[in-house]
Structure 1
Amino acid sequence: MGSTAPLPGTAVLSVDISFSLDGFRLPLYEVADRRYEPLGVWLIGDISIYFRACLDALEMIDDVSNGRWPAEEWSSDKFEAAFTPERVSLQNLWLESQHGEYAVPEVREVLERYWRFLVSMPERTHLIREYHPDLPRWQADLLLWEETWGRPHPYRGRLF
């Protein structure tokens, strides 16, 4: 799943995971510690290049980081992800042996850095967008997230 050499713009995390792009400009990950394999697969498979999915995950990690249960459950056809104030548990729905449990601060750090990695990716300027085409995709998706939920994103002013 991971690349052999990091590409320019790679974010290297202190929790032994790094991200890069493949030839199709899709995320790859590389882990030094196989314990983080399910986390890497979840990020590049479930969240992938989708800012709104990452915004949802950031909201959930903010909730549990502050001792609250998430307002919604993670919805996916690839992973079951359970966010609690104690830990984040990931289970690949297609590969029973791929599961992991992580401390909330670990996942928070990884998600924040994955967001930065996504934002650093080149815009796909050939794609036509209807919602705020004048803004970078991440900003348009942030506004759409906030419009959908009727409130500012909890990371507004901290991460973006």
Structure 2
Amino acid sequence: MSFISFALDQYRLPVFEVDDLRYQPLGGWIVTDISRDMLACLDALAMADDVTNGRAPFEPWSSENYEVSFTPDGFVFRNEWVEGDEARYSVPEIREALETYWRFLAALPERRQLVREYHPELPEWQADLLRWEEKWGRPHPYRGRLF
């Protein structure tokens, strides 16, 4: 069982619960910066995989709210808007949190009211995975492991 869990609130927005308050900033970053954006989650997973395997992240993390860095030594972020909201986590911690979040996102019911142009015949997570792979010109590093 993971140290973090996710659910939707009454507005269908992601919320989190942690076993240890040390992970509060991590949960805040995930539900704020990634939110329900599966492509952003795929980016974060790929960056975590890159640093796990000794490679620099394929792209710097882009955010309006956080300064983020993925390194082989860990994951460091700082909220640009909330003083003192910063933290450092090990690569295994960030991987576990992101993998848990991906499973949560992929299990959400489809939002049928949304019109998707890219592979609407596929579940949203599969279409976003194909879109990610097309954009970056490589298989996602989690293909065959998490999805």
Q: TM-score range by the shorter chain?
A: over 0.9
Alignment partners' CA distance in 2, 1:21 and 1:69: 33
Give the aligned CA root-mean-square deviation in angstroms: 1.0
Alignment map for 1:18-37 (pairs within 5 Å):
18-37=5-24
AA in 2 matched with 1:67: G
Q: How many residue pairs end up in the alignment?
A: 147
Match of 1:133 among 120, 123, 129: 120
| Counterpart in the other structure of 1:124 | 111
Moved over 6 A (4+): none
Gaps of 5+ in 2: none
**Structure 1 residue 54: deviation in Å?**
0.2
**Are the aligned partners of 2:5 and 2:100 in contact in 1 as well (CA < 8 Å)?**
no
Letter in 2 for 1:106: E
Q: Report the AA paired with residue 157 of structure 1.
A: G
Distance in 1 between residues matched to 2:77 and 2:23, nearest whole Å: 11
Distance of 2:19 and 2:119 partners within structure 1: 39
TM-score, normalised via structure 2 length: 0.96
**Equivalent position of 1:75 in the other structure:** 62
Alignment of 1:43-58 (within 5 A): 43-58=30-45
AA paired with 1:73?
A: P
Aligned to 1:39: 26
Could you give the per-residue CA deviations for residues 39-95 of structure 1, whole angstroms, max 9, x where no partner exists?
Answer: 001100000000000000000000011111112110000111110001100111110
Percent identity among equivalent residues? Answer: 61
| Equivalent in the alignment of 1:96 | 83
What displacement does 1:31 show?
Answer: 2.1
The CA distance in 2 between the partners of 1:33 and 1:154, in whole Å, is 29
Tell me, yes or no, if structure 1 residue 154 matches structure 2 residue 141.
yes
CA contact (8 A) 1:38 1:91 kept: no
Q: How does 1:108-123 map to 2 (within 5 A)?
A: 108-123=95-110
Contact 2:51 2:72 in 1 (8 A): yes
State the one-letter code of the partner of 1:135: L
